[in-house]
Amino acid sequence: MKVLLLKDAKEEGGQDPYVRELGLHGLEATLIPVLSFEFLSLPTFWEKLSRPEGYGGLIFTSPRAVEAVELSLEQDGKSEVWKKSLRETWNAKPVYVVGNATASLGQPGSRGTRSHGRRVCCFPVKKLGLEAEGESSGNAEKLAEWICSREPPALPLLFPCGALKGEVLPQMLKDKGIPMESIIVYRKIPHPGIQVNLDSYYSKQGIPASIAFFSPSGLTHSLKHVRELSGSSIEQIKFAAIGPTTARALAAQGLPVSCTAESPTPQALAAGIRTALQPHSS
């Protein structure tokens, strides 16, 4: 059976991990990028990154925010400054991320001292030389719970984010009196090839058995085309969401959500779609 993945393309070369994992479940997956990204306010962001003494730590809820750090380091010898001093200073503070950890590296609710609370991170902050915590949380709400369970910082946490950031994490931290300073460093824009690529897919592959969405904005930019191309057959499609926020966005559009991944990983999404596609699955 065919599965259509509507997400941003994997940055590194090689097969997308979601395509690969679905293939292991006997499903033929195709990825069509629905989002591109425009980076914003990088000079201002660098000014904040160069003053770690003014912050209690960092929060990353998107790989794109990590990419914004990388882009900020690319000019005028900033990378050397980062490696020589700033990286170490930031690493003395908590760096919270939404991401994934293998089972052997602990569970979301595990406690311990700062030195034992850190775990090797699968999120791309490792490319910056930063150690992270909270990465097994899986979504912003659970990460906020993790942050609230730690010793509250005296200084604000720096939160680089997208223009359409969710309000769950900021509100939860505010309710707990945890100071936070957000800065918008990127915005999502529609991928220029959405319509052409979807037209090509439907003409060659037909109606997919399942369509997976990976963000509310990706849904916004692609759903109109999906509805037009699917026609009345849209009722046959099993819609999948990478997480609860995307699932709520699907439901708000009047689409039945056949599965929501238990965690934002290829394994969890593939298992959920496989179950949803089994006969008599609701």
For 56-115, how does the pLDDT look when each residue is reduced to its tens digit (9 = 90+)?
999 998 888 999 999 999 877 899 999 999 999 999 999 999 865 322 222 333 323 333
pTM of the model: 0.66
Given this model, what pLDDT does residue 122 score? 40
Q: Which residue has the higher pLDDT, 179 or 99?
A: 179
Q: Is the pLDDT of residue 50 over 70?
A: yes
Given this model, what pLDDT does residue 12 score? 56
The domains found in the chain, sorted by start residue, are: 2-34+193-277 (3.40.50.10090), 38-107+122-189 (3.40.50.10090)
Residue 108 main-chain phi, psi, to 5 deg:
-55, -35
Q: Which of 5-14, 51-60, 142-151: highest mean pLDDT?
A: 51-60
Strand 180-190 to 35-39 pairing: antiparallel
Which of 89-98, 165-174, 214-223 is least confident? 165-174
Which of 65-74, 137-146, 216-225, 236-245 is least confident? 137-146
Provide mean pLDDT across the span 130-142: 83
**Predicted confidence band of residue 242 (pLDDT cuts 50, 70, 90):** very high
The CA distance from 260 to 213, in Å, is 10
Q: Is the pLDDT of residue 42 over 80?
A: yes
Residues with Cβ within 8 Å of 222's Cβ and at least 6 positions away in sequence, in order, are 6, 32, 34, 194, 198, 213
CA pseudo-torsion sign 268, 243, 238, 195? negative
Given this model, what pLDDT does residue 100 score? 53
Provide mean pLDDT across the span 195-202: 98
**Predicted confidence band of residue 156 (pLDDT cuts 50, 70, 90):** very high
Provide mean pLDDT across the span 104-128: 42
User: Mean pLDDT in the chain?
Assistant: 87
Given this model, what pLDDT does residue 84 score? 92
Q: Retrieve residue 236's tokens.
A: 């046959």
DSSP state of 119: B
Given this model, what pLDDT does residue 123 score? 52
Provide mean pLDDT across the span 121-141: 77
Q: Which residue has the higher pLDDT, 164 or 178?
A: 178
**Predicted confidence band of residue 246 (pLDDT cuts 50, 70, 90):** very high
Q: Which residue has the tokens 């679905």?
A: 22
Q: Is the pLDDT of residue 155 over 70?
A: yes
B/e letters for 106-141, b = 16+ CB within 10 Å, e = fewer, are bebeeeeeeeeebbebbbbbbebebebbbbbbbbbb
Torsion angle defined by CA atoms of residues 61, 211, 24 and 242, in that order, rounded to the nearest 10 degrees: 20
